């Protein structure tokens, strides 16, 4: 779960360079006064910006099955399968509740939904 919260939103965060620049040319603005677009563009190195975007995209990639969805069924005993089914159904309820809450939020936060949380950590 922590991996979803920490990793999958990295591109959303790092994709806008003023949020988290890896490198600045010169000093950052010292106050909240407006600066021109030309001044803003001068702060960032194009090559570093591209590398930052690529890294954020890779770290945000969701390449594994989501929690409760397994590639292989390892257990066939009916009692165990019943517990798995109950767990899976509960995940579906939680995902629906998350979707309903996110629909009402100004900024949705999907990263901890069972639709997104992976079975395992992998990059």
**Cβ(113)–Cβ(101) below 8 Å:** no
Cα 100–65–94 angle (5° rounding)? 25
Q: Look at residue 84 in the predicted model and tell me its pLDDT.
A: 86
Going by pLDDT thresholds of 50, 70 and 90, the confidence category of residue 123 is: low
Phi/psi at 29 (5° precision)? -55, 140
Distance CA 40, CA 59 (A): 26
What are the domain boundaries of the chain? 1-61, 65-122
For the stretch 53-91, pLDDT in tens is 888 888 777 777 777 777 777 777 888 888 988 998 999
Percent above pLDDT 70 for the chain: 94
Percent above pLDDT 90 for the chain: 15
């Amino acid at each position: 779960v922590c991996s979803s919260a920490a990793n999958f939103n990295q591109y959303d965060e790092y994709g806008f360079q003023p949020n988290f620049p890896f490198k600045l040319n010169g000093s950052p603005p010292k106050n909240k006064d407006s600066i021109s677009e030309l001044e803003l563009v001068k702060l960032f190195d194009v090559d570093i910006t591209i590398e930052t975007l690529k890294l954020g995209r890779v770290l945000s990639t969701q390449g594994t099955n989501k929690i409760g969805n397994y590639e292989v069924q390892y257990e066939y005993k009916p009692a165990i399968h019943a517990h798995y089914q109950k767990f899976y159904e509960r995940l579906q309820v939680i995902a629906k509740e998350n979707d309903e809450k996110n629909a009402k939020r100004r900024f949705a936060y999907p990263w901890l939904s069972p639709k997104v949380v992976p079975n395992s950590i992998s990059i």
